[in-house]
Amino acid sequence: MGDTLFRLSERLLAIEHIGLYLYIGWVVYLVLLGGWIILQKREPVATLSWLLGLALLPYLGFVIYHLFGPQKIERQRLRRRRSRLDDEALGHLPDGPNCAPEARELARMAQTVTGLAPSSAREVRLLVDGCAKYEALIADLAKARQHVHLEYYIYTPDESGRLIRDALVDCARRGVRVRVLLDAIGSAKASRAFFAPLLDVGGELIWFHPTRLWRFFLRPWLNLRTHRKIVVIDNRIAYTGGINITDEENERLRSDAYRDLHLRIEGDVVRTLQQVFVEDWIYACGERALISEIVRSMPEASPGTVSAQVLTSGPDSSWEAIHRIHVGLIHAARARVWLVTPYFVPGEAAMMALTSAALGGLDVRLLVPKDSDSRLVTLAARSYYDELMAAGVKIYEYGPRMLHTKALLIDETTAVIGSANFDHRSFRLNFEVSVLFQDHGIALRLSRLIEGEFANAPRVRQDRLRPLLHVRLPEALARLLSPLL
């Protein structure tokens, strides 16, 4: 093999003016691909980063860009829009008349950028950690009568995964329609063989954005994943939040399991989460008959007392809805901004909002893991600490376990809980889902939960030791990559 490559290189070097040809090819490649990247009109820093990478890594840079570069879903976006369920059948509710002007404005903006109207819930439970979530889910699955829909980023074939799978098998044996939509990358360990018992009794399994590296002329969508965690049971009960299905989030099985938060919801907002799942299912497999089936089984609207609005975002929209709502809520805050996230890599708009709130005298707190499961992201996050603390933001690093909760608490009435991290990947690349609550009770419960986490999260000190080579330089280098994380 080595001799073959050596002889091939000798032949190439023997070609007259080979250096000139390679240089011209490099220039043409850089101009054409660089022009395409510039026309995407993304953030200048990210665009310049890709251009620099393409220039320094001729041809290899193209392969990297083809696999992981920014991608927009155009025809797929239209397909997803056409799969919207009928608004009248969903019975969307307008925002309440007693809401503050800022809340009504944000609700209208959220509806405009997502196409999902404000709704309500009758009951909302905050489930802390995987064990509580899995136990509640298995109990609800045992009562399912019509259908069960699951969409997850990570589903692993371990003990927790088997428990949920077996509960789904029992549902299918009772005649319940079971549909499972899993991300092809995040759930790569969960093969069809693992789900064979479910498939054998009539359950359905679809992969979201399966890899297609063998079709080199198509973008492989390796970077565009569904990060959503959704379960809908009989149009009555829904689960969503940050907890995947894996032993890594089951504290009963692992002492180092992730610290996380999930929602169990009843009420009209379940219809909207159902709509999100249906769109994703149709997008993944094209089964449009599901729309009429779900509409026929929709119960009559029954408004609850909790104002709730589903927020979605993904590469099929350029509005970055969840990012936009987060920034809007922070700007609208009057007393408090508490942000909990496992991955903190903010853009300029988010940094401006957080520092402006702190400079204005608001109680701004950031709760992040001491050590996340990504060393690069941890370093990038810490590179923002000095600027945040100089503005008055209080930063806490949760230490006992990996903190995986994604939540935003604003003042005494507003809470956002879901799957979206506070980083570029969640705001731009992943398909995400969160729920915005305008409710004193939900905000109070979330406030007490976060306050309890502070007991295990020492506050970061401004006078902490920060050696140049071991701390400041790695953080600065990681920050350079933040637009690409």
Catalytic positions: 227, 229, 234, 404, 406, 411
In which residue are the tokens 């306050």 written? 451
Give phi and psi for 414, each to the nearest 5: -115, 135
Burial of 188 (0-12, 13-18, 19+ CB in 10 A): middle
Tokens of 145: 């009568």
As a dihedral over the C-alpha atoms of residue 77, residue 111, residue 422, residue 243, rounded to 10 degrees, the angle is -80
Give the integer Cα–Cα distance in Å for 114 and 92: 13
Contacts made by residues 60-65, CB under 8 angstroms, sequence distance 24+:
62/29, 62/33, 65/33, 65/37
Contacts made by residues 128-131, CB under 8 angstroms, sequence distance 24+:
128/259, 128/260, 128/261, 128/449, 129/243, 129/249, 129/251, 129/257, 129/258, 129/259, 129/260, 130/160, 130/243, 130/246, 130/249, 130/250, 130/251, 130/257, 130/258, 130/260, 131/250, 131/251, 131/252
